[in-house]
Amino acid sequence: MSLGGHPNNVVSIKYCNYTSLVFTVSTSYIKVWDIRDSAKCVRTLTSSGQAMPGDVCSGSTNRTVTIPAGENQINQIALNPTGTFLYAAAGNSVRMWDLKRFQSTGKLTGHLGPVMCLTVDRISNGQDLIVTGSKDHYIKMFDVTEGALGSVSPTHNFEPPHYDGIEALAIMGDNLFSGSRDNGIKKWDLAQKDLLQQVPNAHKDWVCALGLVPGAPVLLSGCRGGTLKLWNVDTFAPIGEMKGHDSPINAICTNSSQIFTASDDRTVRIWKARNVIDGQISDAGDASEDLASN
C-alpha cells in the first residue's frame, strides 16, 4: 500500500486510531487518507484553511517546492488524544481543524517566527494543551477548549528562551522536553512552568528530534549530524550514544521494544531497545532491515 500523490517531500505523518485516518504533509498541503478499505485520499487541507474533497495534487508532476500565494509551509502537524482536532504549524501560527466537520476553526497566534514543532496533550477538564516551539527561540503553551474559534492567544511563555530556534518537543507526564538549534535540551515542569534542568551542549549540532521510550525513564535525542543519544529523564545524565545516520535525524518514534529514526538519508532505521535503561540499544538488523525509500 502506498499513499502517493504528493508533489514534494512528505515532512510529517500522523495516524488516528479512532477513525483509521492518516494525515500526511507536503509543502502547504495536508492530505487525509482513509485506509479502512483502500488507501484513498478523501480530503486535502491547506495552510490557509481551505478543505477540498479528494486529492487536489494528484495531477501535479511539479517537483519543485512551490508554495501558492496566500499559503505557508506546514512544518508539523499533531492530533489531540481523542482524534477530534488536528493542529498544523504553518508560518507564525498553528491552524486548528475540527475533524468532525473538516473545518478550520481558527489559529493559535503569538509567535514572531515560524512555528517549527508542536505537541498536544489533553488535560483533566477536557481541554487540549498545545505546546509550540518556534524559530523565534520561544516555547509557548495554549489551552484550547472544544468549540474555541478565531485567534487563540498563548496562556504561557516559557522563560528563559533557548538561544536559537526550537526544533523538537516531547512530553512525559508533567515534564516537557525541548531541543533547539542552540545544540541544547531543556526540561520544564508543565504544571509550575519552571525550567528544571538543561544540557547546554547536548549535541555538537542542532537537536532536531526528541523521543521517549514507554515504560522507561529515558529521553532520546537526534541531531543534525546523525548522532542518537540517550539521557536519564530524572538526572539528565547521558547513558548512551551512537552514530544513527550520516544525515540529520528528523524524527524519532518508539514503542516498548523498538526505536525508529527517520533521516535525510531517505531511510528509517529500526533499533532494538531491550536494555535501554542501561543505554544499550542495537541495530535491529543489517541494512536490509532498514526501511529505505525507493
220, 259 Cβ separation under 8 angstroms: yes
DSSP summary character for residue 148: -
- Classified as helix, coil or strand, 245 is coil
DSSP assigned state of 73 = -
Q: State the DSSP H helix or E strand holding residue 291, giving kind and residue range, or none if neither.
A: strand 291-292
Least confident of 165-174, 222-231, 268-277: 268-277
Domains parsed from the chain with CATH numbers:
8-58+74-115+132-148 (2.130.10.10), 159-272 (2.130.10.10)
- Residue 155: Cβ within 10 Å count: 14
Q: Which band of pLDDT confidence, cut at 50, 70 and 90, is reported for residue 282?
A: low
Per-residue pLDDT reduced to its tens digit, 157-212: 999 999 999 999 999 999 999 999 999 999 999 999 999 999 999 999 999 999 99
- Give the residue carrying C-alpha cell 517549527: 116
- What is the side-by-side strand order in the sheet with 93-98? 74-79, 85-90, 93-98, 103-108, 150-152
Highest mean pLDDT among 45-49, 123-127, 146-150: 45-49
| Whether the predicted model's global pTM rises above the 0.75 cut | yes
